[in-house]
Structure 1
Amino acid sequence: MAKRDYYEVLEISKSASEEEIKKAYRKMAIKFHPDKNQGDKTAEDKFKEAAEAYEVLSDAKKKAQYDRFGHAGMGGAAGGGGYGGQGMNMEDIFSQFGDIFGGGDGSPFGSFFGGGGGGQQQRRRKGSDLRIKLKLNLEEVANGVEKKIKVKRHVTCKSCSGNGAKNGTELSTCQTCGGAGQVRRVQQTMLGQMVTTSPCPTCNGEGKQIKTRCEACFGEGRVLEEEIIPIKIPAGVADSMQLSMSGKGNVPPRGGVAGDLLIVIEEEPDEVLHRDGTNVIYDLYLNFADAALGTTVEVPTIGGKARITIEAGTQAGKILRLKGKGIKELNGYGVGDELIHVNLWTPKSLTKEETEMLEKMRDSPNFHPKPNKNEKNFFEKMKDFFN
């Protein structure tokens, strides 16, 4: 099933402000919240869909990328399956966006994930992003490709299940902050009492303490591993474009949401074909005899070759078109063309016999330039092709 437009999901316009996007998401999230629609799978899917849309539109870089490339520029098109409804579970949604509800656990009803209990649940941290460059040749850019890349990233320690304690044993509540992760200080000022909060210095804001550290990760709850990740690149990507795979970045220490893997496209120049948007351009050089008498020639195309006919009397500067031999549109259905620019090759040195032949033809009436007044010049031809 095709993804819905993110603006349509949140029922906002493309010109919506940051605050309007936030309000729209809060409205949708409360409407389809699991606590309010228990057992309703459709409501749960819409809740995840709204979270997916907000994750992208609330981030300036992701929003700009989405506005330009649509869903193809997001994680799902890159094969990550990481946004909202694809790979994000309910706890991930609340941990990342819980603050917009005004509650510690992200639940406006106070019951989901134990939010209605004793203290305020700590918001889970998000790990750092990873960025890689991926080189693609013209054929891979034109048709799309699936790549497998090696990435070194921090993943959850299997020995302790990510909590940093030996064999994953239970952590103890921090005695300094009572598990809140924050300490409050009350100061008397001329204006009355001033209350400030700061991360607990004993547990570094985690609210829990490790009794015996895990020997595999030394208490970090994560280890560095090399992973082979498949990436599906859509057809039509461009140089410097950035794709994103959610959840394939680093896991933070001792639990949380993994960061993203950012894939920056690096397009390698082709030796014979030159890209111009969705079109490719090839410079064809003909000798005088072939241009005057006509011939058939073989020209390179993306991933192959094609044989074309050169009509007798073809002029230098003529542009021939091979329909549909260009690059597929990103997030679209169209395909560009291959434009063949005819050039006349003039020899720089001639034999005696060649010189004598040309001297005989020099004064022939058919060899005197007679341009047709209705014939368009090079710039007019190019304008016709690209408009």
Structure 2
Amino acid sequence: MADHYETLGVSRDASADEIKKAYRRLARELHPDVNPSAEASERFKDVTHAYDVLSDERQRAEYDAGGRGAFGGGGGFGGFGDIFDTFFGGAQTRGPRSRRERGEDALLRVEVDLLDVMFGTTKEIDVDTAIECETCHGTCCQPGTSPVTCDICHGTGQVQRTVRSLLGNVVTASPCGSCRGYGTIITNPCVTCQGQGRVRARRTIHVDIPSGVDTGLRLQMPGSGEVGPGGGPAGDLYLEIKVRHNDDFSRNGDDVLCTLEVPMADAILGTTTTIDALDGDVELEIRPGVQSGDVLVIKGRGITALRSNLRGDLRVGVQVVTPTRLDHKERELIRSFAARRKDGGPALAHFQQGLFAKLRDRFVS
């Protein structure tokens, strides 16, 4: 890379005003709005970079010192400095930073139906995220160009300063202010991603929802999060599950719960009925004399357990429905039935919980 002083056409002892005047004169001559040629555009970038370095007092001092600070390595305390370096290793350099960084993790909330939970499902989800720039493929540079070595730190990403102390010359290192510690400078950033190596975009992902998931469970999809700066590796995507409310069915663990209203006559005599369950019709036998609060269990018609092939049960709570409107003949039949039973009428019994609490307890027992 050309010498910055030569680029601006000034001497090495030029004042700040002289440097500024030289830059303004060249900028008026080379600016793309005045001179659209490719050669002028390249010179304008070099001139601008040279001015950025030389107009900053600290960066100019680093540049004049070859990127190693203003003091050099000598001095009256050189012996102590050598001893200090021997015991403490002097300035430790770690090398330049990488422009490629890991992307951030992302969290999405996904709603599923109870039927999806029963057997698992696959969903397509649209995600707004960061993806690798298709123009520069994560290099951050315009196609056909590449980063140039920083002329302040000479590609190390750090500048060293020597400070005199009672123990001698102490060398410290800090990130280069010109290249921000990368060791290189992108003179022609990609116009699509503005030199970031990634862009925001909407993409569709296919998600496998396993059976048995429940509200609040989080699924991890490694490498499906946002692409990092400089086209770095993508972070992880976390899916937080929410199971939608179902008007007819609920769940307790891997069991599916529902309530069946049974007419009084069917409860007395018993019957067989068909229930439209989540995964299809199922035949249910109601034994004679079934009571409100009884739970009828159909084995293996519940939810497939998470990471297993075993299924829970379908648990059907019975609610006997007493007719509220009877004609004269029906009332006479009921009276005749009651007279034959001679039950003695209502009577106090041991305290019991309400029907729905009782039903709930039997569901989960």
The TM tier, using the shorter chain, reads 0.5 to 0.7
Q: Distance in 1 between matches of 2:361 and 2:343?
A: 29
Which stretch has the larger CA shift, 174-183 or 311-320?
Answer: 174-183
**Deviations, residues 5-64 of structure 1 (Å, cap 9, x unaligned):** xxxxxxxxxxxxxxxxxxxxxxxxxxxxxxxxxxxxxxxxxxxxxxxxxxxxxxxxxxxx
Choose from 291, 307, 331 the match for 2:307.
331
Question: SS of the counterpart of 1:324?
Answer: coil
Q: In the alignment, which residue of structure 2 is the partner of 1:105?
A: none
- The answer to whether the 8 Å contact 1:162/1:168 transfers is no
List alignment gaps of at least 5 residues for structure 2. Answer: 1-92, 347-352
**Deviations, residues 168-226 of structure 1 (Å, cap 9, x unaligned):** 52211223333343455565678988776554433333332111121221211112222
**Deviations, residues 136-166 of structure 1 (Å, cap 9, x unaligned):** 0011111011111111221111211211111
What letter is aligned with 1:229?
Answer: I
Q: In the alignment, which residue of structure 2 is the partner of 1:170?
A: 146
Q: Distance in 2 between matches of 1:281 and 1:355?
A: 35
Q: Distance in 1 between matches of 2:361 and 2:167?
A: 72
Percent identity over paired residues = 33
**Deviations, residues 218-256 of structure 1 (Å, cap 9, x unaligned):** 211112222111111111111111112122211122232
**Aligned: 1:143 with 2:119:** yes
**Deviations, residues 302-346 of structure 1 (Å, cap 9, x unaligned):** 221211111112222221111111111112232111111111112
Q: In the alignment, which residue of structure 1 is the partner of 2:331?
A: 355
Choose from 158, 161, 179 the match for 2:134.
158
Residue 274 of structure 1, CA deviation:
0.8
- The answer to whether the 8 Å contact 1:143/1:234 transfers is yes
> Aligned in 2, Cα 1:135/1:384: closer, same or farther, shift over 3 Å?
closer
> Aligned in 2, Cα 1:290/1:167: closer, same or farther, shift over 3 Å?
same
Q: Distance in 1 between matches of 2:163 and 2:326?
A: 97
What letter is aligned with 2:147?
Answer: L
Residue 368 of structure 1, CA deviation:
6.0
Which stretch has the larger CA shift, 217-226 or 288-297?
Answer: 217-226
What letter is aligned with 2:299?
Answer: K
> Aligned in 2, Cα 1:338/1:366: closer, same or farther, shift over 3 Å?
farther
Choose from 173, 179, 183 the match for 1:207.
183
Count residues in correspondence: 267
Q: In the alignment, which residue of structure 1 is the partner of 2:272?
A: 296
> Aligned in 2, Cα 1:195/1:150: closer, same or farther, shift over 3 Å?
farther
> Aligned in 2, Cα 1:221/1:348: closer, same or farther, shift over 3 Å?
same
Q: In the alignment, which residue of structure 1 is the partner of 2:235?
A: 259
Q: In the alignment, which residue of structure 1 is the partner of 2:216?
A: 240
Residue 300 of structure 1, CA deviation:
2.8
List alignment gaps of at least 5 residues for structure 1. Answer: 1-117, 371-376
Q: In the alignment, which residue of structure 2 is the partner of 1:229?
A: 205
Q: TM-score, normalised by structure 1?
A: 0.60
> Aligned in 2, Cα 1:241/1:176: closer, same or farther, shift over 3 Å?
farther
Choose from 260, 282, 287 the match for 2:258.
282
What letter is aligned with 1:145?
Answer: T
Q: Distance in 1 between matches of 2:258 and 2:163?
A: 75
- The answer to whether the 8 Å contact 1:288/1:345 transfers is yes
Q: In the alignment, which residue of structure 1 is the partner of 2:322?
A: 346
Bigger-Rg structure (1/2): 2
Question: SS of the counterpart of 2:195?
Answer: coil
What letter is aligned with 1:204?
Answer: R
> Aligned in 2, Cα 1:285/1:120: closer, same or farther, shift over 3 Å?
same
- The answer to whether the 8 Å contact 1:249/1:260 transfers is yes
Q: In the alignment, which residue of structure 1 is the partner of 2:289?
A: 313
Q: Distance in 1 between matches of 2:94 and 2:336?
A: 102
- The answer to whether the 8 Å contact 1:159/1:168 transfers is no
> Aligned in 2, Cα 1:380/1:133: closer, same or farther, shift over 3 Å?
closer
Q: TM-score, normalised by structure 2?
A: 0.64
Q: In the alignment, which residue of structure 2 is the partner of 1:270?
A: 246
Q: Distance in 2 between matches of 1:198 and 1:143?
A: 57
> Aligned in 2, Cα 1:210/1:354: closer, same or farther, shift over 3 Å?
same
Question: SS of the counterpart of 2:292?
Answer: coil
